[in-house]
Amino acid sequence: MILITIILLILSILIGFAFRKFQFNKSIQEANIAAAQIRRHGEIKDKDEVEKLISKEKKNTIQYRDGIEDEIKTDIEDNERKSRWLDQRIELLDKKEQGLAKKNELLNQKNLDLKSQKKELHDIRENSRQLILDRHEALQNSAEMSQDAADHEVLRETEEDVSQTYNKYVIDAETELEATSENSARVLIDQAIEHSGGKTVLYENHRSLEVTSKEVLGKIIGNAGQNVRAIEALTGVDIIIDDKESEVIINGYDPIRRATAYRVLERISETHRVNPDAIEQIVNETNRYMDHHIRHYGEKAVNELGLTKVAPDLIKFIGRMHYRTSYGQNILEHSIETAKLAGIFAAELGEDSAMARRAGLLHDIGKSIDRDIEATHVEIGVELTKQYRESPVVVNTIASHHGDVESEYVIADLVTAADSISGSRQGARNESAADYLQRIKSLEGIANEQPEVDESYAIQAGRELRVIVQPKKTNDKSIHDIATEVKNEIEENVTYPGQVKVTVVRKLEIVEYAERRRA
């Protein structure tokens, strides 16, 4: 019995061992199959990833190649443009070199002419001395005059000859001047414009700011509009929000205030947290920034023209002209150009070139504050320059450059001519002819609507309106009423820069003819 039990136990152990071996072999086989599948899947996945990497690298390579090609193309275009620009500059320099050569030739010829004239003058002087001696000796021999009498007679005859020669020389010089003055002036103007370095300046737009996002717009508006109200109160401008166009419009007559508000809005758009206190701090910082840049513009203009002893406060008024325009032309650049032209004119005519440049720079100084004071820019400019003790030449230039008073100095006339050239040259101003004619027509139309007005003329580019009334229908009191009425109509219905001067003219002229009665 025990033996059977032992045998059964051994058999069960052998059977269990065989079964466990079978299970182990089966597990190994399944593991090998799974491993083979995993290897095959891994190879496929690696292959896909390699293909993706290759595709991605190909795309990057193509993009890089395209970028390089675009850069090369851009460089080629830049080089071609620079080459064209260099060709133009070379051509311009060649022309200037030719002009300088001609001018040098003319100067050499003038030097030769002067030397020749100097020699002729020396010969004439020697001949005159010999002639006086001969006359003196002849008078003494023929008339038996005393020494003093002979000297007096020779002196009298010599004065008569010199007077006749001088009168003939003056007449000839005046005739030659009348014949050649217009052509000489045209040549002088051409040379001055060529060397003045006139340029067209694009004026900075401070009337609107493009908003990049709703977040920026929210910063500007603030809680229930408190930020907008703070900006308007601190800068003195009106802010209009245009949601559709994503634009903030800045309304105001003062260009410096508009520029200040524009920079404040830019600072606000870059600031993380915005409230009225932060806005006040930004406005204060911007005001200091604007004061610094205004003075910088003034100092730059003074240094560019080589002027000295300009009052520091006057330099600030000069800098303010950078933010003022007239028909789209920047007033500071216009004044600098006028100064350069006037300086060249003065140098050619033997006048004080530095004084001409100074008067040219300051001729429109009144426009720096003419929007803040009820007066014309001419009147303001005269008062400013008198206040800072500028030369009478500068003061008279400002007063006369629009014909309000007579010019007393040659420099004043030169600045007036330079002012006209700078304002009328091509590209200087961008006001259309239609707008200009419409404004002139509007001014004259308002005056002509008055029943007592005979005719009217808008002069000085619309700065003055001359109204001629019918003398028999008006008197001294009524013409004052007409001037006031025309002035009020212009203020209500016409858009214009600065001021418009209304001058009413009444002239009563009675003519009678006296004839002799027949008997």
pLDDT value for 149:
66
pLDDT value for 506:
86
Contact 326, 363 (CB under 8 A): no
Q: State the average pLDDT for the chain.
A: 79
pLDDT digits (tens, 9 = 90+) for 301-333: 999 999 988 898 899 999 999 988 877 778 899
List Cα–Cα distances, 149 to 128, 130, 208, in angstroms: 19, 19, 91
295 pLDDT higher than 60: yes
Using alpha carbons only, how large is the chain's radius of gyration in Å?
45
Output the six-digit token pair for 312: 């520091």
For 465, the enclosing helix (H) or strand (E) is: strand 464-469
Instruction: Count Cβ atoms below 10 Å from residue 323 Cβ, excluding itself.
Output: 24
pLDDT digits (tens, 9 = 90+) for 439-478: 788 888 888 888 888 888 888 767 788 888 888 888 878 8
398 pLDDT higher than 50: yes
CB within 8 Å of 326: residues ≥ 6 apart: 334, 364, 367, 423, 429, 497
pLDDT digits (tens, 9 = 90+) for 66-80: 777 777 888 788 788
Instruction: Count Cβ atoms below 10 Å from residue 189 Cβ, excluding itself.
Output: 16
pLDDT value for 202:
47
Q: Give the whole-angstrom CA distance, residue 512 versus residue 494.
A: 43
* Local confidence band at 275 (pLDDT 50, 70, 90 cut-offs): confident
Among candidates 271, 214, 266, which has minimal Cα distance to 235? Answer: 266
List Cα–Cα distances, 515 to 401, 511, 512, in angstroms: 48, 13, 10
Per cent of the chain over pLDDT 90 is 13
- DSSP lists the bridge partners of residue 330 as 325
Q: Give the whole-angstrom CA distance, residue 505 versus residue 487.
A: 15
pLDDT digits (tens, 9 = 90+) for 360-383: 999 989 888 866 677 788 889 999
pLDDT digits (tens, 9 = 90+) for 109-150: 888 888 888 888 788 778 777 776 676 666 556 555 565 666
Per cent of the chain over pLDDT 70 is 76
Whether the pTM exceeds 0.75: the reply is: no
400 pLDDT higher than 80: yes
Output the six-digit token pair for 483: 């001037």
Q: Give the whole-angstrom CA distance, residue 166 versus residue 161.
A: 8
In the DSSP assignment, the letter for residue 504 is E
